[in-house]
Amino acid sequence: MQTARGATLSEDTPPGTADGPGPTTPEKKKPVRRVGLMIAALLIAAFAIGLDQWTKNLAEANLDPSDPVRILGGLVYLDLTWNSGAAFSLGTDYTWIFTTVASAVVVFLIVLSSRIVYPVWAIAIGLVLGGAAGNLLDRYFREPGFPNGHVVDFISVFKPDAQAFPIFNIADSALCCGVVLIVLLELTGHGFSPESRKADEKKKEAAA
């Protein structure tokens, strides 16, 4: 066999070696990229967990539950409380159920992080994972003990004692920010997978 330039190319010669390197294979780069994005998501989650637990420990060590601290001109009150329910004190009578569900969610998010292909999704998944895991650690290790541990909340906005809005913590904030980011990504056609993005593009083309 001969190439277009006349150079002989044997049957055993791999394509692309006669006139230079063959085409690159992006498939080989995908595993490396996904590992990097998974690590990024886990690092974001770890930062959220660390910040959450650190601030909770500070709150327990320095705040009096009966004496909220007014800061930022009354925009925020540091108001220590313990929550047996879900985020924002919802469902206080079902602590063990929330512990079970949160454990499953954390495992699912860790597995899902291995499939991330877009950097912005690493941020979103990392925030949700960090928020879920931060409160889950309280369920596991704080009083009265697993699986009914109470979550430490200490941030009250506008008014103390949850008069204007439920008292929350850093984990709740990370979780909500991650969920909002996910919703925005989906609504703007920036889906989790390439397949979902292609489907959104086809819908836009069909509607045009």
203 CB burial (10 A radius; 0-12, 13-18, 19+) = exposed
DSSP-derived secondary structure letter, 151 = E
- Provide the residue count of the chain: 208
Side-chain half-sphere CA neighbours of 72 within 13 A: 9
* Closest C-alpha among 192, 208, 73, 191 to residue 200: 191
Residue 64: beta bridge partners? 67
2 in helix, strand or coil? strand
Q: State the catalytic residues.
A: 153, 172
